[in-house]
Chains A and B, each alone.
Chain A
Amino acid sequence: MRSYAPAEITHLQARAGVRPRLLVWIVAKDRETGDPFPVGFWNGDDTEEFTIAAVARSYNPTALLGMDDITFETGLKVRRISIWLATAATEVIAAVQGYDVRLAPIEVHRVLTDPLTHRPIAAPHRIWKGWVDGAPRVTPAKGLSRGRVSITAASAAMALTRGLPGRYSDEAMRLRGGDDRLFRYADISGKVPIYWGEKRLETGASKDSVLPKLGSRA
């Protein structure tokens, strides 16, 4: 259950109409420098700043056409929702095609605004966090409208599908700590014949058959 701020609870209990708005925040990447390029879209009517996690974020208006319904569920399944941005908005084209949005972090917030004053009642709530997992652009044929960029936003559970970034090697261990030599011989271990007393251990041989059994007099 989402915990609402006291001001929101008061507003909801008043039953005087609601006016929710959605905020989408994508941290794209500059293709040349690799610097993060944050860009926000919301379905309000003008550029507006919202303070989220103590940082003011500026959201571009009207470019957000809509998004899929979010289903709350338990478990580690990677869920994907579509978020539709208008291709007629220049900010969308600049962000999605001018910058790299592949696997860019994406956040969706929902803010309740007052239907009379249109001002936010409380800080926005985050309702989705994940990564961009595709952003195909549809340009409508002549006579049709509603061109859109369908951003597929995978949920944060996609992090669990990543492979291990580190290897079982000396190099990976020394990236972790420069003087950590635990895996110094990891890459040749098992490949170099060594002597145990008089017995030569051949590489690739099964350890069970070669290692002297405890208590044996071999």
Chain B
Amino acid sequence: MALMTFPLGLTQFFDLLPIGKCTFDPTEALDLAETAGGEVLTADLGTALWSGQIDLALMEHHEAAPLRPLLNLLRRAGASFMVADATRPWPRRDPGGVVLRASTGTPAILAVGGSWRELSLKGLPPWYAISAGDLISFAYGSSPTRFALHECVGDAQAAANGETPLIEVNPPIRPGAAADTAVQLIWPRCKAVLQPGTASLGASVHTITSEGTLRWTQTLR
């Protein structure tokens, strides 16, 4: 088997995790000033990156064993892996991604809105529905390739030619995302690193390994 290269793909790490409980949220780093007048003023100091925690379900020892080397591999400096939201693997109105998989078109960005908060898609099946909360990911840039993950704020529907109007997304789109970039709507993913000191496969009792947990933060580079 070839040496592992980073980031580890979904099939190399994320798909193997028996997820018991998970969170998937963007970070926020706000400077807060609550005045005596009762006003809450905020200033944005940090970046809007995805982060989350994955608590692993109960495993038997032989199930936990193949995960150990992977998790320990990711503890190294510079190691990264791809992560997805287990609760939103495909658009809400297309369970299993059946319609999208059957389509011959390649979903791609049609245009990025001038506000950098909107994008429109093309190459979707006719009348394909995008709902609020659906995730979109795409790769852009080079050395290294960046992975962008956005969630749709509003609903949208593709026209007969598979093109959608502008859809507001969260977080804002970063420079580098260009038209014709292929997007992923099935298992949208982003690149992440383990937060040091948080990963553990848990404790083992008689036949069960439990309480495994890890925290991750998205990284662009």
* Chain A residues within CB distance 8 Å of chain B: 15, 17-20, 44-48, 61-62, 88, 115-119, 145
Question: What are 19 A-B contacts with C-beta separation under 8 Å?
Answer: A17-B42, A18-B43, A19-B43, A20-B43, A44-B47, A45-B47, A45-B48, A45-B174, A46-B146, A46-B220, A47-B221, A62-B221, A88-B77, A117-B116, A117-B117, A117-B172, A118-B48, A118-B171, A118-B174
Q: Please name all residues of chain B whose beta carbon is closer than 8 Å to the beta carbon of A62 when the two chains form the complex.
A: 47, 221
Q: Which residues of B contact A46 (CB under 8 A)?
A: 146, 174-176, 220-221
Tell me the minimal C-beta distance from A177 to chain B in angstroms: 50
- Please name the residue on chain B nearest to A145 by beta carbon: B196
Residue with the highest number of chain A CB atoms closer than 10 Å, among B44, B77, B115, B175: B44
B49 within 8 A of A: yes
Residue of A nearest to B43 (CB): A18
Complex: A20 Cα to B48 Cα, angstroms:
14
Minimum C-beta distance from B18 to chain A (A): 30
Name the residue of chain B whose CB is nearest to the CB of A89. B221
Task: Please report whether the interface of chain B is mostly helix, strand, loop or mixed according to DSSP.
Answer: loop
- CB pair B174–A116 under 8 Å, yes or no, is no
| Docked complex Cα distance between A204 and B165 (Å) | 93
Q: Judge whether A61 and B117 touch: CB under 8 Å.
A: no
Q: A15-B41, A45-B47, A45-B49 are in contact. List 9 more A-B contacts (CB 8 A).
A: A17-B41, A17-B42, A17-B44, A44-B47, A46-B220, A116-B117, A117-B116, A118-B116, A118-B174
Closest to B39 in A: A15
Contact in complex: B146, A115 (CB < 8 Å): no
In the bound complex, do residue A19 and residue B220 qualify as a contact, i.e. CB atoms below 8 Å apart? no
Tell me the nearest residue of chain B to A16, going by C-beta: B42
> Chain B 29-51 against A: per-residue CB contact (8 Å), 1 yes, 0 no?
00000000000011110011100
Complex-state Cα separation, A28 to B172, whole angstroms: 34
Contacts of A116 in B (CB 8 A): 117, 172
- Name the residue of chain A whose CB is nearest to the CB of B174: A46
Max chain B C-beta neighbours (<10 A), residue from A15, A18, A46, A145: A46
The CA of A80 and the CA of B146, in the complex, are separated in Å by: 37
Among B41, B172, B196, the residue within 8 A (CB) of A118 is B172
Chain A hits for B116, CB < 8 A = 117-119
A4 to chain B, nearest CB (A): 16
Q: Within B143-161, which residues are at the interface with A (CB < 8 Å)?
A: 146
Whole-angstrom distance between the alpha carbons of A45 and B116 in the complex? 15
Return chain A residues, CB-CB under 8 Å to B115. 117
Chain A residues with CB below 8 A from B172, complex form: 116-119
Smallest Cβ distance from B76 to chain A, in angstroms? 13
CB of B144, distance to nearest CB on chain A (Å): 11
State which of A20, A61, A118 has its C-beta within 8 Å of the C-beta of B221. A61
Contact of A61 among B48, B196, B220 (CB under 8 A): B220
B47 A19 Cβ-Cβ under 8 A: no
